[in-house]
Amino acid sequence: MDAVRPFQIHYQTINQLFFNQPILTLSLASVRYRTPTVRKRTVLGTYLANLCPCFLNRILHLYVMDSALFPVLQHCTYLNTPSSGILSQPILDWRRQHDEAFAVQGSQFRVTSEPLLQATKQAIAEFFNGSVDRTFLLPNFSYGFNTLLSCLPSSYRYLLLDEDYPSVNYGVERLGLSRNYVSIDEYLEDRVADGVNVHRPDVLALSLVQYVSGIKIDFGFLKDLKRQHPQLLIIADGTQYCGTEPFDFATSGIDVLLASGYKWMLAGYGNGFVMVKENIPELLIPVGKDAPKPGLHHLLGKSDLSFTFEPGHQDTLAVGTLQQAINAFRTMDFSGESNQLSTLVTAAREAFMERKLLNGSVIKRLHTHGTFFNLNGDQRLFDKLTEARISCAMRGPGIRVGFHIYNTHADLARLLDVLDGRNGNY
C-alpha cells in the first residue's frame, strides 16, 4: 500500500471554503484525504487553528457519513449521483443475504417475502407523507409514467418543459397527444404560469429538478398554481429530487409523484414508486377497469390502480433495496443531513460562480436549485477530472457534478483544486 501523503489543499481553497462562511458550531473538525489507494480521515483542528483562531466555531460540515459505508468512495471522489446513486455496504450485505435465502428456500422464499412488498409501500408513504393505499411500486419512472398516460383521456392537453427529461416528454409525444412547451430558464415559474393561462392544459407534466442544469421548480409556486387552477393535473418526476431533502407529498401542489430509486434514493436499479392524491383515482380510466378481476386468493381486494401499476410479480431484491435505503434515511437525522447538504451545495454554487463556471439562468435563479450543477467545460476538462479520479458526467453543454449526503467540503475542495490546476494528491 502506498504511503499516506500529507493533506494537500491550496490555502486559497481552504480560506474560500471555511473562513468566508457563516458561523457554525461543531465539536470536531474532521476531513478525509486520499492516497492513490485509500480514503482516510485526519483531524485538522490544530493545523487550521493556526490559520484562524476561531476555526472550531466556523468550520463547515466536513464529514457527513463514514466513507467506509460506500465502497466506491474508497477509490474516487464521487460527484456523479445525478447519473447513479451508490450502494452502501449494509445494503450490499442485505442484498447478498436476500439472494442466499432465495437460493436455499426456493419457492418458499416467495411466500415468506410477500410482506416485504407492503412494508416497502408503507415505508415510502411514511417517508414522503402520503397514503399507503395510494402508493404503488414501480420498476422505474418511465414504466409508471407511460402507464399513467394510458389511464388518462386521450383528449387531454399537456404542458411540458422544453428539453425536460426525455422519458417525460417522449411519453407524451409518442402517443401524439396535444401538447405545448415552455422554456427552461431563470423565469421558469413565470413561463409555466403563462403557459397554463394561455394554453389551458389539462395536465402539467415536469421534472422537479432538471437533469441537465439542476434547475429546480419552486414548490411554493406549484402549490399556488394548483390553488389557482384546481382542475389542472400536476404530474411530477421526482427522480432527480427524491432523497435530497424531506418532502411532504400530502401538502404539496403535486397530484401524482413518480420516481425511480437508483439516483438520490440510493436504492439501486429496478425500483421506483408512484403516489397519487385522494381525488386522482376517479380521474384515471385504467384499461380493462370494468373487466372481471381474477379470483385468486392473493389478488382479492387488489385495487384497479394496483392491477394497473403492479401487474404480475414484483422483484423483491429491487423492492427490498428501496425499503432498506429508506430505512437508512429514516434512522439517521435526515433533516440534519439534508441541511448539511444544502450548506455544501451553497458553497459549491458560490465557488462555481466565482470561477464563471455556471450559465446565466442558474446564476440568476437565486431562490431555488437542485443538488447538482452543469459546469462550463469541454471534453479536455472532463478527461482531466476523470484522470484525477473525480466521477462526473458530460451532459448537455458542459460537465455535470452533484453532491449528496456522503459528499463533503473536502470533495468540493478536491474538485476546485483540479479545476484551478492544483491537482494535488489526496
Show the cell assigned to 106: 426456493
Cβ neighbours, 10 Å, residue 195? 19
pLDDT digits (tens, 9 = 90+) for 283-308: 887 655 566 565 554 554 577 888 88
* 287 inside domain: yes
* Cβ-Cβ contacts under 8 Å for 181 (sequence gap 6 or more): 159, 160, 161, 162, 195
* Cβ-Cβ contacts under 8 Å for 103 (sequence gap 6 or more): none
- Antiparallel, parallel or unpaired: β 390-391 and 77-78: parallel
Show the cell assigned to 398: 458542459
The answer to whether the beta carbons of residues 125 and 132 sit under 8 Å apart is yes
In the chain, the largest separation of any two C-alpha atoms, in whole Å, equals 77
The answer to whether the beta carbons of residues 29 and 56 sit under 8 Å apart is yes
* 262 inside domain: yes
Exposure string for 228-237, b = 16+ CB within 10 A, e = fewer: ebeebbbbbb
* 371 inside domain: no
* Cβ-Cβ contacts under 8 Å for 172 (sequence gap 6 or more): 149, 158, 160, 179, 205
Number of domains comprising the chain: 1
> Over its length of 426 residues, how does the chain's per-residue pLDDT go in tens digits?
333 333 333 434 434 444 343 333 222 233 333 333 333 333 343 344 344 433 333 333 333 456 679 999 999 999 999 999 999 999 999 999 999 999 999 999 988 777 999 999 999 999 999 999 999 999 999 999 999 999 999 999 999 999 999 999 999 999 999 999 999 999 999 999 999 999 999 999 999 999 999 999 999 999 999 999 999 999 999 999 999 999 999 999 999 999 999 999 999 999 999 999 998 888 887 655 566 565 554 554 577 888 889 988 899 999 999 999 999 999 999 999 999 999 999 999 999 999 999 999 999 987 789 999 999 999 999 999 999 999 999 999 999 999 999 999 999 999 999 999 976 444
Look up the domain containing 259 and give its range: 91-331
* 178 inside domain: yes
Beta bridge partners of 224: none
The answer to whether the beta carbons of residues 216 and 370 sit under 8 Å apart is yes
What pTM value is reported for the model? 0.83
* 231 inside domain: yes
Measured in whole angstroms, how far is the alpha carbon of residue 169 from the centre of its chain?
A: 19
Q: How far apart are the first and last CA of the chain?
A: 14
The pLDDT, as a whole number, for residue 284 is: 85
Cβ neighbours, 10 Å, residue 109? 16
Show the cell assigned to 400: 455535470
pLDDT digits (tens, 9 = 90+) for 140-186: 999 999 999 999 999 999 999 999 999 999 999 999 999 999 999 99
The pLDDT, as a whole number, for residue 70 is: 96
- The CATH number assigned to the domain holding 121 equals 3.40.640.10
* Cβ-Cβ contacts under 8 Å for 189 (sequence gap 6 or more): 217, 218, 221
The pLDDT, as a whole number, for residue 19 is: 38
* 32 inside domain: no
* 20 inside domain: no
Please report the beta strands in 44-86, taking only residues with DSSP state E, as ranges in sequence order: 77-78
* 181 inside domain: yes
The pLDDT, as a whole number, for residue 15 is: 42
Q: Which of 21, 7, 17 is nearest to 57 (CA)?
A: 21
CA-to-CA distance for 51 and 29, rounded, in angstroms?
Answer: 14
Angle of the 379-387 helix axis to the 409-419 helix axis, nearest 10: 130
